[in-house]
Amino acid sequence: MAAPVKLRIILGDNNSQRLILPDGIPESVNELAQQIKRQCGIEGVFRLQFMDAEFGNEFSNLLSISDVQDKGTIKVIYISDAQPGGSTPPPSAPPPSLASSSSCSPNDSSVSSGSSFDTDILSSPESTSSRSTAWPVVFQVPRFSYDAELQLDRANAAFKATGTLFNPDVKLKSAILNGLAEKIIQYKMYLSDSKFDDVAEALMSKHPCLKEPGSVSGYGGWKASLKYKLANYRTKLRGLGCPEVTLNSLKQKPEGKVSPAYGVKRPKKAEVNYCPAYTTDETAETLEVIRVALLSEVQKRNNDGKGREEVVREAPMIADFKTRWPALFHVREVRMNV
């Protein structure tokens, strides 16, 4: 039996807690996250960082359980909007895209912000199917239906008491797989084999009663069933016209290469909102009109004569002038016209 392990968990500014693992260090980062969530009473989505001795005890993202040592320090980084208890989540490192942009000079930042200001007028709202979150470091198993959670709670209690594994019926298993598929679609439409492992591990960590006897990993059957369920879910979305799925349909394949495996288009590693659907008030024609309008806007040069003429000739109120020429009140434009 493994020796007990003690960890220091940093939950926020001036907020830390001792965590005792009586069975030693868990086998995966997901299991450690579940232990922290259970013992520290944490809710919401978060990721873990460890104190890296090789880099001056700076915190680095915890990707391997081998980086966790006895009496080590683990930091909780909240990803959700609000930290439990109503306090503000601790600041975390900005994404690479933001980190690189923050190193620009003041002039560059004013230009980039001015560009976004110019195009805000013509930008369209996001569709309900668009994504804004990348795949999480620790996959969070969603809550299932009330009756499914009730059965799982009782089965988990029996597993902790006697070690009895639970064999769910067809209805319950379908409810679990449907819930997982709906959660997965919020991040990705197509999963790699390792991502299926992440989901299955998270399911076994939250509901250990579902482990499969005789399986090396304990979730081989669940992983296979989840692959079939996600494939069926994509088929359903294809029938509803989801563009991220329809672009990979056989009708979109070139002649002579009509194969489901040919030329499957998937988002790259850094792409989140890969192929969003149009909003309810958008069509290809309306978006083409916006594109042409943007094209004509970027071709304009030295067209401030009209605005100056209005100021001199008509002397309008500031509020009226700002309504007609909003871009002139941006910092970049003010500097250019001083």
Q: Answer whether residue 172 is part of any domain.
A: yes
Q: Answer whether residue 33 is part of any domain.
A: yes
- Pick the last residue of a domain from 78, 99, 117: 78
d(CA 192, CA 89): 31
pLDDT of residue 267: 60
pLDDT by 10s per residue, the chain, length 338? 578 888 999 988 888 888 888 888 888 888 898 888 888 888 888 889 998 888 888 888 988 888 888 889 999 988 854 444 444 344 444 443 333 333 334 444 443 444 444 444 444 455 445 565 778 888 999 999 999 999 999 999 999 999 999 999 999 999 999 999 999 988 888 888 898 999 999 999 999 999 998 888 889 999 999 999 988 888 888 777 776 766 666 555 656 665 555 556 666 555 555 566 666 677 778 878 888 877 776 666 565 666 777 777 788 888 887 887 777 777 765 555 55
pLDDT of residue 225: 93
- Report the CATH number that the domain containing residue 26 is assigned in CATH: 3.10.20.90
DSSP 14: T
d(CA 159, CA 218): 14
Strand pairing report for 73-78 and 15-21: unpaired
Q: Answer whether residue 61 is part of any domain.
A: yes
Asked whether the whole model's pTM tops 0.75, one would answer no
Q: Answer whether residue 22 is part of any domain.
A: yes
Same domain, 69 and 152: no
Domain boundaries, position 221: 146-252
Cα 111–115–121 angle (5° rounding)?
Answer: 150
Cβ 48 vs Cβ 29: under 8 Å: yes
Q: Answer whether residue 298 is part of any domain.
A: no
Cα–Cα nearest to 124, from 284, 321, 295, 296: 284
pLDDT digits (tens, 9 = 90+) for 19-37: 888 888 888 888 898 888 8
pLDDT of residue 121: 43
Backbone angles phi, psi at 210, to 5 degrees: -90, 0
Joined tokens for residue 9: 């968990």
Same domain, 247 and 150: yes
- Pick the last residue of a domain from 252, 282, 302: 252
Q: Answer whether residue 185 is part of any domain.
A: yes
Domain tally, the chain: 2
- Pick the last residue of a domain from 53, 78, 103: 78
Q: Answer whether residue 293 is part of any domain.
A: no
